[in-house]
Chains A and B, each alone.
Chain A
Amino acid sequence: MSAAREEALTPEAIADFLREVRGGVEDGLDPLAAARDALGSLPGRLRSAIELIVRRLEGDYHEDEWGFDESFAEAVFPVFEFLYDSYWRVQVEGVRHVPAHGRGLIVSNHAGSLFPFDATMLTLAIMKEHPLPRWPRFLVLDWAFVLPFLSAFMRRVGGVPASPHNATRLLGQDELVMVFPEGVKGTGKPFAERYRLQRFGRGGFVEIALRTGAPIVPVAVVGAEEIYPKIGDSPALARAVGAPFVPVTPTFPWLGPLGLIPLPSRWRIEFCEPIEVAGLGPGAADDRRIVLDLTEQVRETIQEKVLENLVERGSVFL
């Protein structure tokens, strides 16, 4: 009872707070500093929220050298948590296969034509289900990094442009890196071809794993294909905005902004047994045979798990 009363925001508490702010400003502090000093008179949750906002306005937060801003990522987390828990009802298996420390390369299939939410959901799966959660970084299609808003947002939550130099450096710093080797071919495939994995590039991700000795964790994601079913595309529009493709879905662009709302499919994510490549040595990265074989092995593992989980999931929406 008493705890609840402490949390409640009474008019008296607000009045006390404002009085103290005014006192602080009269003593020559600037309002932000005065507000921080007066926080003692406010209930705990509000106090920490205001403290956080003041710290951000003063630039007193941390960004790492990649521009990843952990407090920003934590602030937007609840939004995606709602999508994860209630909207897409994500079920996760094998999250223990994600290394708890040290480098690791998470390789996943890629889908969701308008906004591929699979990277976000994988991040949430690791942050919510793993016993030792940590923020993974993900490689993002180059095009997204010249766009306003999206580029700044993705950088703050851990995205980096898809360049082998970036992936190698991140793994060298013992980070967890997510890659989607299908790239645009995966997100841009028509709805009729859903859950059929596309070519895995030229195996660049395997080369990086071999060079850095990072274990490869294949991941199968089921559910992302149905969020924006791509029934056609508009090459003219794509050329006009410089995008790799502009999808046409049953709702987009017909319903305008409403068409951006994804469909509530059910999701399953399965992390598979890691493939240790450190034993092969960095020299193996120059051996095309090894690289292509490993690429194919990873692709087949993911394809197999995707089909298994598709059966496991049963109904798409219910």
Chain B
Amino acid sequence: MGRRVAITGVSSNWGAELARRLERDPEVEYIAGIDTGAPPPELVRTDFIEADIRSATLSRLLPATGVDTVVHCGILWYPEPGKPAKALHEINVIGTLQLLAACERTETLRAVVVRGSAAIYGCEGAVPYFYSEDLARERPLRTRFQRDISELEQYFDNFAARHPELRCCMLRYQPEVGPGLDSPLVRYLSLPAVPVQLGFDPRLQFLHADDATGAIAAAVANPVRGPVNVAPSGSISLSRALRLLGRPAVPVPTPLFGALMERLNDRLGAGGLIGDWVRLLRYGRGVDNRRLLEEVGFVPRFDAAGAIGDLAFETGGRRVGIPMHPGALAGRLARLGGLAR
């Protein structure tokens, strides 16, 4: 008998990508997709269940599907269509709580996988450069989003402790980039001139979007217990990432940087999480991915620099806005001159 999997947040990019991958997997017999909006039409095998994870109806709907694995892709890093910034806290925390309650009613269930965030470690100047999974909450929780993630991880830990028969896996994701991805971070990196904080050069671990989906598919196939950091190997400084992308960096004094990002927020679309990005772009964050490699058995195809290299390669041809990098600008002018002649 094949696997029966339910995916929350299936109309978002992450849920849809996972459903697409599981549809191709012959081991998976049935896929239920739960969300408030319809998933992309190319998902043919996915059984769409229209439900809000914040409501109690889930406790009736989920047991009826007879799934053995629930994958929670409904945690949001940024507002999405139909999911405004104001609702993020409620979707993330209350939604998870309701989903776990529904899981308790589902007798066929064997595993729960949650797509969480490495934001729980926060962003600090002087810290372990590679957080291992046991170092969460070592520092004060500084932002709303960090507290939300911590809170829902606490619910999840309690849930896992009450149900030792279930394999409960919490994936802590580092920020993703990818050519096809439209997220605040990708939009930030493709600004015509990218503001950075004067004197700061954060170390970042960009996870390639393909690896992000690959990691969650690997965790569905092999749900290990407890938290797992999902990150590429290595790290890259923001300054080098921008050079690889051919984007000019504009240093802005730190006190002004936050205000500037607020102004740019219409374009970035980070909602209330803009403060989290400001901290990330000052101090950066690195996590230890050994558990992902050794226990889950997933090796990311791109390292941190490779993910940026791929983004640069794929977006090189169709940049939005004016090419402000002196090299690119002069190159384009030279090409125009060649055409005119």
Contact = CB atoms under 8 A, between A and B. Distances in A.
A59 B240 contact: yes
A66 interface: yes
Given A148-B198, A148-B199, A166 B125 contact: no
Contacts of A66: 129, 235
Contacts of A144: 126
A22 B186 CA distance: 34
A61 interface: yes
B11 interface: no
Given A26-B334, A143-B126, A64 B234 contact: yes
B106 to A, nearest CB: 39
Contact of B130 (A26, A31, A165): A165
B201 A152 contact: yes
B334 A165 contact: no
B178 to A, nearest CB: 18
A66 B237 CA distance: 10
B309 to A, nearest CB: 9
B221 interface: no
B335 A28 contact: yes
A146 B126 contact: yes
Given A25-B334, A26-B337, A64-B234, A169 B125 contact: no
B234 A65 contact: yes
B199 A56 contact: no
B92 interface: no
A151 B129 CA distance: 13
B326 interface: yes
A274 interface: no
Given A30-B327, A56-B243, A67-B237, A151 B132 contact: no
Given A66-B129, A166-B128, 19 more contacts: A27-B338, A30-B328, A33-B327, A57-B243, A58-B243, A59-B241, A63-B237, A67-B237, A142-B125, A144-B126, A146-B283, A148-B200, A151-B125, A151-B200, A161-B129, A163-B127, A165-B131, A165-B132, A169-B288
A166 B244 CA distance: 28
- Among B234, B331, B338, the most chain A Cβ lie within 10 Å of the Cβ of B331
Interface string A26-53: 1111111100000000000000000000
- Among A26, A56, A57, A152, the most chain B Cβ lie within 10 Å of the Cβ of A152
Nearest to A150: B199
B265 interface: no
A65 B335 CA distance: 38
A197 interface: no
Contacts of B132: 165
Nearest to B242: A59
Contacts of B241: 59
Contact of B331 (A29, A141, A149, A155): A29
A31 B327 contact: yes
B260 interface: no
B117 interface: no
Contacts of A67: 129, 203, 235, 237
B304 to A, nearest CB: 8
Interface string A1-43: 0000000000000000000000001111111110000000000
Contacts of A141: 126
B199 A149 contact: yes
A180 B75 CA distance: 43
A105 interface: no
A141 B309 CA distance: 33
Nearest to B233: A65
Contacts of A30: 327-328, 330-331, 334
20 contacts: A30-B331, A31-B326, A31-B327, A56-B243, A58-B327, A59-B243, A63-B236, A63-B237, A63-B240, A65-B235, A66-B235, A67-B203, A141-B126, A146-B126, A147-B199, A151-B199, A152-B200, A152-B237, A165-B128, A166-B129
A209 interface: no
A146 B198 contact: no
B135 interface: yes
Nearest to A30: B331
Interface in B162-199: 197-199
Contacts of B306: none
A152 B326 CA distance: 25
- Among A33, A141, A155, the most chain B Cβ lie within 10 Å of the Cβ of A155
B315 interface: no
A300 B131 CA distance: 34
Contacts of A263: none
A31 B126 contact: no
B286 interface: yes
B12 interface: no
Contacts of B254: 148
- Among A30, A32, A147, the most chain B Cβ lie within 10 Å of the Cβ of A30
Nearest to B305: A63
- Among B131, B327, B337, the most chain A Cβ lie within 10 Å of the Cβ of B327
Contacts of A146: 124-126, 283
Interface in B222-237: 233-237
A144 B199 CA distance: 13
A125 interface: no
B316 to A, nearest CB: 11
A162 interface: yes
A150 B128 CA distance: 18
A56 B234 CA distance: 19
Contacts of B233: 65
A65 B128 CA distance: 12
A29 B333 CA distance: 10
